[in-house]
Amino acid sequence: MKSLKASGHQLANVDVQLQTLQSEVADTLQLPLFHEKLQTAGLFPLSTTEPAVFQINLGKMCNQVCRHCHVDAGPDRKEIMTRETMQACLDALAQTNIPTVDLTGGAPEMNPNFRWFVEEVRKLGRKVMVRCNLTIIVANPKYNDLPDFFRQHEVEVVSSLPFYNADKTDRQRGKGVFEDSVRALRMLNAVGYGQPDTGLLLNLVYNPNGAFLPGPQESLKRQFKRVLQDEFGIQFNDLYAITNIPISRFLDYLISSGNYDGYMEKLVNAFNPVAAAGVMCRNTLSISWDGFIYDCDFNQMLDLKVASPVQHVQDFDLTTLNQRSVVINQHCYGCTAGAGSSCGGTTA
Which is closer to other proteins, CB of 244 or CB of 288?
244
Residue 59 touches other proteins, criterion: CB under 8 A: no
226 binds other proteins (CB under 8 A): no
CB of 5 to other proteins, least distance (A): 30
Closer CB to other proteins, 168 or 186, in the complex: 168
C-alpha torsion 69→8→266→204, nearest 10? 0
Q: Is 63 in contact with 75 (CB distance < 8 Å)?
A: yes
Is residue 216 at the binding interface for other proteins, with CB under 8 A as the rule? yes
212 binds other proteins (CB under 8 A): yes
For the bound state, the minimum distance from the C-beta of residue 214 to other proteins, rounded and expressed in Å, comes to 7
Residues 6+ apart with CB under 8 A from 55: 101, 102, 103, 104, 284, 285, 286, 287, 296, 297, 343
Evaluate whether 162 touches 169 at the Cβ level (below 8 Å): yes
Integer Cα distance of 72 and 16 in angstroms: 15
Check residue 32 for interaction with other proteins (CB under 8 A).
no
> Which position among 10, 28, 152, 219 is part of the footprint of other proteins (CB under 8 A)?
219
User: Cβ 333 to other proteins, closest distance in Å?
Assistant: 17
- Least separation in angstroms between residue 338's CB and other proteins is 9
Of 244, 242, 300, nearest in space to 79 by CA = 300
Q: How far is the CB of 222 from other proteins (least distance, A)?
A: 8
345 lies in the binding site for other proteins (CB under 8 A) = no
Stretch that binds other proteins, among 55-63, 189-197, 210-218, 285-293 (CB under 8 A): 210-218
Q: How far is the CB of 215 from other proteins (least distance, A)?
A: 4
Q: Which is nearer to other proteins, 121 or 220 (CB)?
A: 220
Residue number, 71 or 239, with CB nearest to other proteins: 239
One residue of 96, 100, 198, 223 binding other proteins per CB under 8 A: 223
Measured from the CB atom, the residue of 32 and 45 that comes closer to other proteins is: 32
Does 208 help bind other proteins (rule: CB under 8 A)? yes
Query: What count of other Cβ atoms lies within 10 Å of the Cβ of residue 190?
Result: 11
In the complex, the smallest distance separating the C-beta of residue 133 from other proteins, rounded to whole angstroms, is 20
Closer to other proteins at the Cβ: 213 or 277? 213
Closest distance to other proteins from the beta carbon of 334 (Å): 15
Counting residues that bind other proteins (by CB under 8 A) gives 18
Residue 102 CB, nearest approach to other proteins (Å): 25
Nearest-CA neighbor of 277 among 220, 219, 346, 217?
346
Residues 150-169 contacting other proteins, CB under 8 A: 163-165, 167-168
Strand 202-206, strand 53-57: pairing: unpaired
Q: Which residues bind other proteins (CB under 8 A)?
A: 163-165, 167-168, 206, 208-210, 212-216, 219-220, 223-224
